Amino acid sequence: MKERKPIPVKFTVNPTEPITNDGKFFDTHGTPVVHGTKIVIESNYNYPHWNNRPGVVEWDSKKGMYRFRFTDGETLDSQNDFYGIHSFKVTEQPAFESEVGFIKDADLLTVLEELKADERNYYPTATVFANAPLALIQQSLSSQINVLERVLKLPLSQFPLKKP
C-alpha cells in the first residue's frame, strides 16, 4: 500500500465557549489536546484512508465533545467526531497557550514549597492506631510532595522532613 504524505494545510479555528474539561484529553503520546490543536491521524479503525492526514481538534460545545476536522486538499473540509481514531499525535499547539491551562514548573515549585512548609511534615510519623487524622494528613502531604518532586525530576524527600 502506498504511504500518504501529509498535506500541508492551514486551518482557521473559530472561537468557542469556555471548555470546562480542558486539559483532560491527550493524544496517543500523552500530549494535552485542546481546542485548536493541530494533529496527524496516525491510525483509524474504520477509515484507513484517513491515516497520516493532518487535522485540527475543535470543541463542540453543543455536543459537549471534541471533534476533528481534516481536509483532502483545498476543496474538501470535513468534520468528524473521534469515532474510530485510535492513534493520533499533536503536531502543533494553538497559539493561545495562555488559555490552554498548562502549568509552569515555577508554579509547581511554589506549590511544592507551600506543602513542604506545613509543620506536620516535621512531626514524627503518626500511625492510624495512635493518631489517625494526623497519619492521614501526613500521608496526603507526603504523597503530594513526592508526586510534585517526580514531575519536576527532583530527588524524593524522606519523611518526616528535617528542619533546615
Please check the confidence at residue 57 and state whether its pLDDT lies above 60: yes
- Geometric angle at alpha carbon 18, from 17 and 21, rounded to 5°: 130
Which residue range forms the structural domain that includes residue 79?
Answer: 1-100
For the chain, give the percent of residues with pLDDT over 70: 71
pTM, entire model: 0.43
Task: Give yes or no: residues 61 and 131 share one domain.
Answer: no
How much is the average pLDDT of 136-161? 91
**DSSP E strands, the chain:** 38-44, 53-60, 65-71, 77-81, 85-92
Tell me whether residue 159 is in a domain.
Answer: no
Total domains, the chain: 2
In a domain, 51, yes or no: yes
21 with 83, same domain: the answer is yes
- pLDDT of residue 21 exceeding 70, the answer is no
Q: Does residue 2 sit in helix, strand or coil? A: coil
- Which residues lie below 8 Å from residue 17, measured CB to CB, with a gap of 6+? 59, 61
Asked if residue 164 belongs to a domain, the reply is no
Assess whether pLDDT exceeds 50 at residue 98.
no
